[in-house]
Structures are given as structure tokens and as C-alpha cells.
């Protein structure tokens, strides 16, 4: 079953790579701010009300652009600043092929992006003062996806314990790269 999911994500990733996404090349003038916000929970809101239609969220995510610390919805002729509380995208699923140091992990966002976790799309984990992990994967063009809890637990389950200098670490490999999930 896990291999079936990996194959499905791999097929979707191949399809997406063939489709042009010129958002990074669009540089229209700023039209202003729009009351759209991506919450810490990965949900999209307009004027405080959560978007109910996923196709609309998918569309907005596909025209999302980052410049410095700001996020914009862009078209070839318009550019609107939005607010992002944490990460603009949300990683809802992960799949792997192989195990250990030779495995390859694919991650999918809730808005349709699929990336292979590798040097171009690294995984990183930040820790809050209370020790709570905040895991992310770089998806595209300066846009990160925050890994949802269930997907992160899947990664932890696939991870290996490594000891280095008396410190126990939890690491995961993908596409020949090593990523630190945390210290034990």
C-alpha cells in the first residue's frame, strides 16, 4: 500500500514538472493589501472567514509568491500582499521508496504540490521554547510547507537513531541527503 501511494505521488510530481508555473517571473506593480491570511494551522481565511472551497485555495496557492518576508498573490498584471502566520503551504502527506540511507521521500502539499525531499527541497525542524517541533520542507520559490502532525509522525517512524559525541539524534535520509529531525 505504501508503494502504491509513492507511485501515485511520483506520477503527480512528473505531471506537475511538465506544467509551466511562471509565477516567479511575474513582476507586476503592487496593487495593495488584501485581507487574505494563511493561519498557523495552514487554513486560508478571507476577512476572518475560512475558505470552504478547496479549489479556490488551490488556485491561490498556485499564484503565491514570496519576496523577502512578504507574500503575494500575483498574476501577470496584478500583485496583492497577503498575510502568512507561519508557512504558506501545508504538507499533508509523505510516502517513501526504500528504507534507511537509500530511501527517497516524496511530500505532498494540501494544495497539490509534490516534491522529493532532497538538497533542493530540504527538510528542517525548528523548535519552540517549550521544545515543540515545527517541521518544514522547502517546496518552491522560497515557499515552505509546514508538515502536518500525522505526516511528521510518519517521518519519525521512518527515522533512525544516530549517536554522535554522546548525543542521540533522530535523523532521516532521502535521495542521498541526511536531515536532522531532533535530538533525543
Give the homologous superfamily in CATH for domain 18-84.
Answer: duf1285 like domain (3.10.540.10)
Q: Distance (Å, rounded) from C-alpha 154 to C-alpha 135?
A: 12
Tell me: pLDDT of 1 over 50.
no
Average pLDDT, the chain: 90
pLDDT score of 166: 81
Cell numbers for 107 = 511530500
Looking at 2.30.270.10, 3.40.50.300, 3.40.50.450, 3.30.230.10, the CATH number of the domain 89-183 comes to 2.30.270.10
pLDDT score of 6: 67
Q: Give the residue with greater pLDDT, 2 vs 63.
A: 63
Enclosing H/E stretch for 146? strand 143-147
Domain ranges of the chain: 18-84, 89-183
User: What spatial distance separates the first Cα and last Cα of the chain, rounded to whole Å?
Assistant: 30
β-pair partners for 152: none
Q: Distance (Å, rounded) from C-alpha 114 to C-alpha 54?
A: 17
CB under 8 Å to 114, separation ≥6 — which residues?
Answer: 9, 10, 12, 13, 16, 106, 107, 108
For the stretch 51-103, pLDDT in tens is 999 999 999 999 999 999 999 999 889 999 999 999 999 999 999 999 989 99
Enclosing H/E stretch for 18? helix 2-18
For the stretch 106-141, pLDDT in tens is 999 999 999 999 999 999 999 888 888 999 999 999
Amino acid at each position: 500500500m505504501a508503494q502504491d501511494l509513492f507511485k501515485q505521488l511520483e506520477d503527480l510530481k512528473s505531471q506537475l514538472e511538465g506544467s509551466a508555473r511562471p509565477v516567479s517571473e511575474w513582476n507586476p506593480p503592487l496593487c495593495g493589501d488584501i485581507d487574505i491570511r494563511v493561519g498557523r494551522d495552514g487554513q486560508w481565511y478571507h476577512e476572518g472567514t475560512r475558505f470552504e472551497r478547496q479549489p479556490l485555495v488551490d488556485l491561490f496557492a498556485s499564484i503565491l509568491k514570496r519576496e523577502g518576508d512578504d507574500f503575494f498573490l500575483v498574476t501577470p498584471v496584478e500583485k496583492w500582499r497577503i498575510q502568512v502566520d507561519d508557512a504558506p503551504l501545508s504538507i499533508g502527506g509523505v510516502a517513501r521508496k526504500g528504507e534507511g540511507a537509500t530511501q527517497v521521500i516524496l511530500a505532498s502539499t494540501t494544495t497539490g504540490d509534490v516534491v522529493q525531499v532532497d538538497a533542493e527541497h530540504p527538510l528542517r525542524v525548528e523548535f519552540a521554547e517549550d521544545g515543540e517541533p515545527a517541521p518544514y520542507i522547502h517546496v518552491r520559490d522560497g515557499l515552505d510547507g509546514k508538515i502536518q502532525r500525522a505526516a511528521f509522525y510518519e517521518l519519525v517512524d521512518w527515522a533512525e537513531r544516530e549517536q554522535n559525541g554522546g548525543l542521540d539524534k533522530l535523523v532521516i535520509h532521502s535521495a542521498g541527503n541526511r536531515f536532522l529531525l531532533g535530538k533525543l
